[in-house]
Amino acid sequence: MSRTLTTALMQEIDHGSRDANLCAIEEGLREVAAGGAQLVLLQELHNGPYFCQSEDTQAFDLAESIPGPSTERIGALAAELGLVVVASLFERRAAGLYHNTAVVFDRNAGIVGRYRKMHIPDDPGFYEKFYFTPGDLGFAPIDTSVGRLGVMVCWDQWYPEAARLMALAGAELLLYPTAIGWDPADPDEEKTRQREAWITVQRGHAVANGLPLLACNRTGFEADPSGHGHGIQFWGSSFAAGPQGEILALASDRQGERLLVDIDMTRSESVRRIWPFLRDRRIDAYEDLCKRFRD
């Protein structure tokens, strides 16, 4: 008995304002719902620009409370259209305390869970440690009407530990809202290596855990508002992989796209029967994974 879940990845450019972005999201949700989507994954921080290109105290004005006006608007659409929606917001938890938070809406049940980004990057153009307090909710999947979702955010996608912890907690699908792109000054061969590495490491999580995976990345060029950097060309390439890491769908690296992908949610069972990795983990020998370095 197969159980097909129709998913949608909504890869967008920044439309210039919160309202314009939410209008594009509304239009997209209506379109993919009409196409049969049951679960929709939005990209990281979809309500605005990727503001972490510079460190600017004014950018904290972009943060929102959860629940708040944006979750009300997206939640109402999820209810109206009968969708599970994974959204990504700049969460204001208190004055001086902000998170990069994914929020899951389940049809008319409203918000059924949130995940606060656990691994926070900080590199030129991605100054996230300035803005986001590391998550304090751990790697806990979120139960929905379409299954138990292992929702993480962007930089988490490079960490096999995160995917494994979600799998060990019974996640049936791994999902990553993302905002990653190229430094336009990098040569093409380096750009290719970076994008391939990003796809490959996530496909590896699918393989290692026998789970399907969705990644939704933003696209388009965004200038550095400080004028110091080259800006970021977000590389899109949102994709879906099956539990053997096989690519099921892959979006453009240059433009917005609404990708509908059918996932057979029963394949993890059969894949894990031929590749029973969870059976043979050497949990007696993994203790040092909790060390910073083994020196």
Residues designated as active site: 44, 117, 154
Could you give the CA distance from residue 164 to residue 224 in angstroms, rounded to a whole number? 35
Could you give the CA distance from residue 153 to residue 145 in angstroms, rounded to a whole number? 21
Residue 185 binds its own copies (CB under 8 A): no
Geometric angle at alpha carbon 114, from 133 and 80, rounded to 5°:
140
Residue 1 binds its own copies (CB under 8 A): no
Pairing of strands 181-182, 232-235: antiparallel
Site for its own copies in 46-105 (CB under 8 A): none
Residue 130 binds its own copies (CB under 8 A): no
CB-nearer residue toward its own copies: 34 or 291: 291
CB-nearer residue toward its own copies: 27 or 286: 286
Burial track 267-278 (b if 16+ CB lie within 10 A, e otherwise)? bbeebbeeeeee
174: its two tokens: 């791994």
CB-nearer residue toward its own copies: 188 or 287: 287
Q: Residue holding tokens 């029963």?
A: 266
Least Å distance between CB 34 and its own copies? 31
Least Å distance between CB 176 and its own copies? 14
Could you give the CA distance from residue 174 to residue 149 in angstroms, rounded to a whole number? 6
Contacting residues toward its own copies, per CB under 8 A: 118-121, 123, 134, 138-139, 155, 158-162, 164-165, 168-170, 193-194, 196-197, 200-205, 207-208, 242, 244-246, 274-278, 280-283, 285-295
